[in-house]
């Protein structure tokens, strides 16, 4: 066993020595390409080819096995057949290698028992020898600042790596190299790129934490299929937020059959991806939908020009068509065209016809005969506007195309504000493209790219405006809360059981009592006061209305007695296996609006709380806000304000304002209940919560839920 | 004046002779470029340069003015200074020219009195001489089949025009040539391209009608800023639908400040663009958001492979990352991944590891050592699946990149199903791109392009499934309808006035009567039966609830008397200028759900009808369906089924089914009322319409509206 210390991610990305298994001079083979790319891109450390069939590779002495390598090896890269991989990693461990980068496939990703077992063996070796692993099933690492091209990908067939300020972490190797290669064509460089594959040992967060600390990295791009340690990811995201480094992420698995089928509203509305979205939004992580289009380009804009200082975008095009298309597309995506200051309008009035004095700015109706000079002056005026924080040039063909382009780029870049050009034509814009390249002005062929760049940029601007996450403060737990938690049964909860838990956290529930017979129900109703509601209680019936288990507005004893028999019958017809434990007799509650408040244990992020539009419209509108539990009352109020039904709570069109404060209190208390149940929580849902007028409170009318484990495990 | 007949669009696109004003050999000048491009692309007719300063241009005899041209001139093209344009067009008219294509700017688009007047003068000349005009402010015409490059744009600097099957009509000249140029780079050809500019004479519909008839055109792309004759456009769209020629359109002006501010729900929910969308959807016109990205590419797929035979898409990528990203993006846009047949799965099981036997198909876990052959076989299996109607290849880097690409393209094209490849990397994919070019397999760099292509393709598939528009049948007008229309006052209608009109069309409204005093109100309430609702009636008060003009559930005479005074007071406080005409006393209605039904006169398309989720949620959900009025009851039922609240009407989760038939009847009758009011209609809105259980009907509880013109004009 080796005496070396386990290397850090920084050390792995800056190796002093690299061993290549299967090194050769044949670029038709993995090991050959790896050797070739390491040399081509000028790796400055020691390069040790390993291959029993060669004496020398590209003039460097070759050793037959890792144990024969001269001097210590920081990183070994292996793209060997799966059947020999594990023994070779073991040899690396014995030889004191710091880290193995494993490109070989055939492990857990195959979903076969053999593949899973082989990966477990790798993890075991990693622990035993203190050797770090990247992969398996990855495509390696790239560190342009260190001249390190540690991958077999043909994407390294570029003349030179471009050192830059963007960190790229991708679970998919193919995406990492495709993204790198596309970015390279636009002159965009990286501070480091890592592909993680199956994350058997080192995972996304190891590299994310490194990049948050790394002074060369100013923006971070992630492609994620699944988190190995979701809570660690959130902590890393919080560090990035504090460091003001934008993190832009594509998380796949947003859609799929699994997202739909779910038993409770809370489970279906707070699905796995919705929870990731909520957790990311709170931490300023920007989610986007395409790793190859727009993500890196936006990171480039953020890394180059720094954090946005506003969200107003100034758009200019030589054509009215370009202007119209751009305005519609930006506005449809919720982006904001800057509102020009009167002084800007005055300047533009000297340059353009009245209909063109506008943002987006159409150069079509210029007053001056000198179209080139006019373009530069108009761009300068637009770029100087105080509400313009970013610039987009939408190039369609125009007379003196290259010259106009040069003036536009010059004036835009002189403003110091971020600028992106979209070039619409094909070959007719070859010279303008060359001009843009020489000017150092970013340009892309697709308005789609521009839209995504400003979407990400605007999202980051909004993230910067949002208050940082504050701890939710003292938990509002009444005296009996701990006792109620302890007593809560395991499995599906009946309505009275769920309400008992909820009430124990100081949340108002409608008055009511269980009745075992019709006569008892009449007695309870008399005590509560008519009219009453009556609901059959059975552990097996989740959707009571659907089962016919609910009768409302019962005005007298006869109706109560009749309803008691009827609901019990209905439940037995609905589910012959259902045991009716009795009926809940409850005061009728009236209010102005309904909401749903729920908690659920997310498999990745633990307890989450949800609030949304209630009643029958809950699932039609899917108007919900989600947060990791617990939340403070203030945070709960922000969640309410973000709902589409907020105007109803606030008092829409002369209607009375409702008691949003009471709802926020309920949301916070439910979130504490969920957090306290923690591992025992499956889900718990108050639906509907009736909301009265401001000052008159809100009350839980119905509730359901399920727990696991139960009192004995607590 | 000329004795020639006015030319058709076909003749204009196939001129036997073209005169170029300002012709020269200098490509720095408009006339020079036009001459140059006409010659370069081999115009086969007579080319007549016009320029008093030249004797000859490119070896062709030049004449000083159009009157001196030898022989008849079919088309003259003018890119001359605005101050000389009008006289020159007049000379053309005198010389018997068939059509002037006018590139000159400075007309109505300037929004100046001089510009508007100059354009009016052009229209007058067109009428006087029977000369057709294209433009002004356009960039000309391109007809590759006729070797006609009639434009000054540098986009004509391509080696050769590509004759094709796509017709392109664009109001914006810059967009036409940019689109043409970008398409050219992808090898996509056109049957004809026309830019219309200000549409002073010939307009979009002239060219659209031509392309619907033209046998060479198999798909039509439109870029539209505004319709000159909206109803003519709809008729042309219907012809295209009958001819099964897809029409794909970008209509700008979807967003903007004007879209928001509107007085009634109907006006704000059925905004101008919503009406265009509805009218287009019914006629199979496919709306998309970007003329440069995806539109022409989708037209190319439709023109090449014909109408879609299903909507199932098969996706294949060499990488799991490519597969995941594509699946999410397609699914998020409502596109459908084909569900593989068991026999396809069987075939794939012989080629791939179990987790890869899927659509989208990841080539990563192949069983065979021969990656190239394996790729071809997997693609063949996927392409042969009966539910796969279209194929997308998502190329990330892979070993044997070019060879794998060749096999994939070959197998995909052999299936005869439409296929598009997205190439993710940059320069690393240069050889695969060459392979795709040689194979004749369409390929693009952006997944965005692929998403838009299949969006348009799927939209066309759905359009083909939809029943054709049928006339709404016999109008359901009761006996008194005509009389009620005649009597309807002009201007804002009070609730009783609006309800009188609505009731005259056989639509149930809540029973009620006007009362001038508190005592009268008590008498009416007694006659109707308690409880009642009471509403102050005033022409100036549109939002009655906001004004405090409504009191509900009044149970006795004392409450009615008190309410009468209170609502009148409230209205006067709300708007001191309001005249209270009395109070409407009405039976209280209860029901299971609320909808809104409205009609409105759209400035472009005339009367439209709207139905949507009602009550306070109407404006929050914006859940509406719109159609041109009138509609049949069957069509109204389809509109209801397309609402997000349809499950509520249908009976959600064991709730009772509601009387959707009664609502459909009301929608149809309201649509007839709107159609009959026609030019007098401003808007008319039944909100809420209370919907009872199936068989129990629906009733209009409140209504408002406005007309113009009035009885005397009728």
pLDDT for the residue B577: 87
CATH node for B307-465 = 3.40.50.261
pLDDT given at position A260: 37
**Residues of chain B above pLDDT 70, percent:** 95
Residues of chain B found within 8 Å of residue A616, distances taken between Cβ atoms = 648, 652-653, 655
- Across the interface, whether the CB atoms of A616 and B331 are under 8 A apart is answered no
On the question of pLDDT at B24 being above 70, the answer is: yes
Task: Please report, for chain B, how many H helices and E strands are present, in that order.
Answer: 25, 31
Q: Are B83 and B118 in contact (CB under 8 A)?
A: no
CATH annotation of A9-254:
3.40.50.720
Residues of A in contact with B250 (CB under 8 A): 325
Q: Are residues B547 and A654, on separate chains, in Cβ contact within 8 Å?
A: yes
How far is residue A466 CA from its own chain's centroid? 16
Lowest model confidence (mean pLDDT) among A228-242, A366-380, A410-424, B384-398: A366-380
Query: CATH 3.40.50.261: which residues of chain B?
Result: 307-465
| Chain mean pLDDT for chain A | 91
Ranking A159-163, A538-542, B452-456, B634-638 by mean pLDDT, the lowest is A538-542
With CB atoms and an 8 Å threshold, state whether A398 touches B445.
no
* Residue A622, min C-alpha distance to chain B (Å): 10
- The pLDDT value recorded for residue B48 is 97
d(CA B568, CA B389): 65
Mutate to test the interface with B, among A111, A154, A613, A655 (most CBs of B within 10 A): A154
| pLDDT tens-place string over residues A28-55 | 899 999 999 999 999 999 999 999 999 9
Please state the rounded mean pLDDT for residues B602-620.
84
C-alpha distance from B150 to closest chain A C-alpha (Å): 16
- Bond into A472 cis (ω within 30): no
For domain A593-709, the CATH superfamily is ATP-grasp fold, B domain (3.30.470.20)
- pLDDT tens digits, one per residue of A146-195: 999 999 999 999 999 999 999 999 999 999 999 999 999 999 999 999 99
Q: Name residue A391's beta-bridge partners.
A: A314, A419
Nearest to A174 among B112, B289, B319 (CB): B319
- For the stretch B308-366, pLDDT in tens is 999 999 999 998 899 999 999 999 999 999 999 999 999 999 998 887 888 999 987 66
Which of B366, B403, B444, B446 is the best mutation test for A, with the most CBs of A within 10 A? B446
| Ranges for all domains in chain A classified under CATH 3.40.50.720 | 9-254
* Binary contact (A155, B105; C-beta < 8 A): no
The strand ranges marked E within A43-198 are 46-50, 56-57, 60-61, 75-78, 99-102, 132-134, 141-143, 148-150, 163-170, 190-195
Q: β-strands A286-287, A219-224: how paired?
A: unpaired
B263 pLDDT more than 50: no
Interface probe, candidates A224, A448, A595, chain B, greatest B C-beta count within 10 A: A448
Q: How far apart are CA B513 and CA B495, in angstroms?
A: 11
Q: Regarding predicted confidence, which is higher, B468 or A388? A: A388
Q: Are B166 and B188 in contact (CB under 8 A)?
A: yes
Please give, rounded to a whole number of angstroms, the shortest distance from the CA of A276 to a CA of chain B: 15
Q: Which among A174, A181, A292 has the least Cβ separation from residue B427?
A: A181
Look up the CATH superfamily of B9-164+177-242: NAD(P)-binding Rossmann-like Domain (3.40.50.720)
Whether residue B655 and residue A174 make contact (CB cut-off 8 A), yes or no, is no
Per-residue pLDDT at B245 exceeds 90: yes
pLDDT of amino acid A273: 84
Round to whole Å and give the CA distance between B569 and B575: 10
Classify B511-587 by CATH class.
alpha beta
pLDDT level of residue B259 (50, 70, 90 thresholds): very low
pLDDT (average), residues B533-552: 85
* Comparison of pLDDT for B350 and B211, the residue scoring more: B211
pLDDT on residue B2:
44
Asked if B654 lies within 8 A of A545 by C-beta distance, the reply is: yes
pLDDT of residue A202: 97
Residues of chain A with Cβ-Cβ distance to B290 below 8 Å are 325, 329, 447-448
**Residue B262: predicted pLDDT:** 42
pLDDT of residue B270: 60
Contacts of B320 in chain A (CB under 8 A): 109, 172, 174, 225
* Contact flag A328-B289 (C-beta cutoff 8 Å): yes
pLDDT, residue A2, reads: 44
pLDDT band at A265 (very low <50, low <70, confident <90, very high): low
Q: What is the ipTM for the molecules in this complex? A: 0.91
Residue range A409-438: average pLDDT? 96
CB B523 within 8 A of CB B513: no
Six token digits for residue A434: 């060359």
Q: What pTM did the predictor assign?
A: 0.92
Separation CA A269–CA A263 (nearest Å): 10
pLDDT at position B370 is 83
pLDDT digits (tens, 9 = 90+) for B164-187: 999 999 999 999 999 999 999 999
On chain B, the residues whose CB falls within 8 A of the CB of A648 are 616-617, 620
Find tokens 């009615």 and name the residue: B560
Has residue B203 got a pLDDT over 90? Answer: yes
Question: pLDDT tens, B630-672?
Answer: 999 999 999 999 998 899 899 877 778 999 999 999 999 999 9
In this structure, are residues B642 and B625 in contact, taking their beta carbons and an 8 Å threshold? yes
3 state SS of B399: coil
Q: What is the pLDDT of residues A307-338, one digit of tens each?
A: 999 999 999 999 989 999 999 999 999 999 99
CATH 3.50.50.60 fits B593-713, yes or no: no
pLDDT at B626 over 90: yes
Q: Is A135 left (phi over 0), alpha (psi -120 to 50) or beta?
A: left
Chain A residues touching B653 at Cβ < 8 A: 543, 545-546, 616
Q: Are A385 and A341 in contact (CB under 8 A)?
A: yes
Structure tokens at B445: 């760099």
Mean of all residue pLDDT scores within chain B? 91
Question: B568 pLDDT band (50/70/90 cuts)?
Answer: confident
Instruction: Say if residues B324 and A256 touch (Cβ distance below 8 Å).
Output: no
Grade residue A262 by pLDDT with cuts at 50, 70 and 90.
Answer: very low
Task: Considering only residues B629 and A267, tell me which one the structure prediction assigns the higher pLDDT.
Answer: B629
Residue B532, pLDDT > 80, answer yes
Return the number of other C-beta atoms located less than 10 Å from residue B87's C-beta.
11
Q: Kindly tell me the sign of the dihedral angle through the C-alpha atoms of B163, B166, B169, B170.
A: negative
pLDDT in tens, A278-306: 999 889 999 999 998 899 999 999 999 99
pLDDT band at B714 (very low <50, low <70, confident <90, very high): very low
Name which of B30, B174, B326, B595 to mutate to probe chain A: the one with the most chain A Cβ atoms within 10 A of its Cβ: B174
Q: What pLDDT does residue A111 have?
A: 84
Report the pLDDT value the prediction gives residue B346, as an integer from 0 to 100: 96
Contact call for B365 and A319, based on CB within 8 A: no
**Closest residue of chain B to A171, computed from CA coordinates:** B321
First to last CA, chain A: 43
pLDDT of residue B618: 61
pLDDT category of residue B543 using cuts at 50, 70 and 90: confident
How many residues are listed for chain A in this entry?
714
More confident residue, A67 or A356: A67
Nearest to A254 among B322, B328, B424 (CB): B328
pLDDT of residue B271: 66
With beta carbons under 8 A apart, name residues in chain A contacting B424.
175, 178-179, 182, 292
Q: Check: CB of residue B637 under 8 Å from CB of residue B705.
A: no
Cβ proximity of B101 and B18 under 8 Å = no
Of B289, B318, B424, the CB nearest to A329: B289
pLDDT band at A713 (very low <50, low <70, confident <90, very high): very low
Q: Quick one: tokens of B655? A: 């709730």
pLDDT band per the 50, 70, 90 thresholds, residue B292: confident
Which positions in chain A touch B643 (Cβ < 8 Å)? none
Please check the confidence at residue B122 and state whether its pLDDT lies above 60. yes
Residue A440 tokens read as 């150092």
Alpha helices in B130-248 (DSSP H): 173-185, 204-213, 230-242
Mean pLDDT of B211-222: 98
For chain A, give every residue range classified as CATH 3.30.470.20. 593-709
| The pLDDT of residue B255 | 74
CA-based end-to-end distance of chain B: 43
């Amino acid at each position: 066993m080796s005496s070396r210390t386990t290397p850090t991610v920084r050390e792995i990305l800056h190796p002093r020595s690299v061993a290549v298994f299967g090194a050769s001079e044949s670029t038709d083979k993995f090991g050959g390409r790896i050797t070739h790319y390491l040399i081509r891109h000028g790796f400055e450390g020691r390069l040790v080819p390993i291959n029993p069939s060669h004496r020398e590779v590209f003039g460097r002495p070759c050793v037959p096995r890792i144990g024969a390598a001269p001097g210590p090896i920081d990183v070994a890269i292996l793209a060997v057949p799966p059947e020999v991989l594990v023994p070779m990693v073991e040899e690396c461990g014995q030889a004191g290698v710091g880290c193995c980068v494993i490109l070989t496939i055939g492990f857990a990703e195959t979903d076969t028992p053999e593949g899973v077992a082989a990966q477990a063996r790798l993890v075991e070796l990693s622990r035993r020898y203190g050797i770090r692993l990247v992969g398996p099933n990855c495509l390696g690492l790239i560190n342009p600042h260190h001249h390190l091209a540690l991958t077999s990908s043909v994407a390294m067939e570029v003349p030179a790596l471009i050192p830059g300020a963007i960190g790229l972490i991708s679970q998919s190797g193919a995406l990492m190299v495709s993204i790198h290669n596309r970015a390279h064509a636009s002159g965009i460089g990286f501070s480091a790129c890592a592909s993680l594959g199956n994350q058997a040992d080192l995972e996304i967060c190891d590299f994310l934490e490194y990049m948050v600390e790394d002074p060369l990295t100013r923006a971070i791009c992630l492609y994620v299929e699944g988190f190995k340690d979701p809570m660690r990811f959130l902590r890393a995201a919080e560090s990035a937020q504090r460091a003001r480094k934008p993190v832009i992420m594509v998380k796949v698995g947003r859609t799929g059959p699994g997202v739909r089928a779910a038993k409770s509203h809370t489970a279906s509305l707070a699905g796995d991806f919705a929870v990731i979205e909520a957790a990311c939004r709170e931490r300023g992580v920007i989610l986007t939908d395409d790793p190859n289009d727009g993500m890196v380009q936006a990171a480039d804009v953020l890394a180059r020009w720094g954090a946005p200082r506003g969200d107003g975008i100034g758009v200019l095009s030589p054509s009215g068509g370009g202007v119209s298309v751009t305005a519609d597309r930006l506005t449809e995506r919720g982006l904001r065209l800057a509102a020009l200051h009167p002084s800007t309008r005055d300047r533009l009035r000297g340059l353009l016809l009245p209909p063109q004095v506008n943002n987006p700015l159409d150069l079509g109706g210029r007053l001056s005969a000198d179209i080139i000079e006019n373009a530069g002056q108009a761009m300068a005026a637009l770029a100087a506007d105080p509400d313009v924080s970013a610039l987009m040039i939408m190039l369609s063909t125009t007379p003196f195309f290259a010259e106009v382009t040069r003036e536009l780029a010059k004036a835009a870049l002189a403003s110091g504000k971020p600028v992106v050009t979209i070039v619409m034509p094909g070959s007719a814009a070859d010279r303008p493209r060359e001009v843009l390249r020489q000017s150092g002005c970013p340009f892309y062929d697709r308005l789609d790219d521009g839209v995504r760049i400003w979407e990400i940029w605007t999202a980051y601007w909004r993230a910067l405006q949002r208050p940082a996450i504050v701890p939710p403060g003292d938990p509002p737990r009444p005296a009996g809360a701990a006792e109620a938690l302890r007593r809560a049964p395991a499995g599906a909860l009946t309505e009275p059981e769920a309400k008992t838990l909820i009430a124990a956290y100081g949340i108002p529930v409608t008055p009511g009592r269980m009745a075992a017979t019709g006569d008892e129900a009449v007695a309870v109703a008399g005590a509560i006061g008519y009219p009453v509601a009556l609901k059959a209680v059975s552990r097996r019936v989740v959707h009571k209305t659907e089962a016919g288990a609910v009768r409302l507005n019962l005005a007298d004893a006869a109706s109560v007695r009749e309803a008691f028999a009827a609901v019990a019958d209905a439940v037995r017809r609905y589910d012959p296996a259902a045991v009716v434990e009795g009926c809940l007799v409850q005061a009728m509650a009236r209010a102005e609006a309904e909401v749903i408040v729920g908690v659920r244990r997310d498999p990745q992020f633990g307890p989450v709380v949800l609030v949304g539009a209630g009643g029958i419209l809950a699932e039609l509108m899917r108007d919900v806000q989600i947060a990791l539990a617990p939340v403070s009352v203030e945070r709960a109020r922000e969640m309410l304000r973000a709902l589409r039904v907020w105007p109803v709570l606030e008092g829409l069109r002369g209607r009375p304002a409702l008691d949003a404060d009471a709802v926020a209190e309920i949301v916070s208390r439910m979130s504490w209940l969920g957090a306290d149940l923690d591992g025992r929580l499956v889900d718990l849902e108050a639906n509907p919560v009736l909301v009265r007028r401001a000052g008159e409170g809100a009350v839980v009318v119905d509730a359901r839920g399920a727990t696991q484990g139960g009192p004995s495990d607590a």
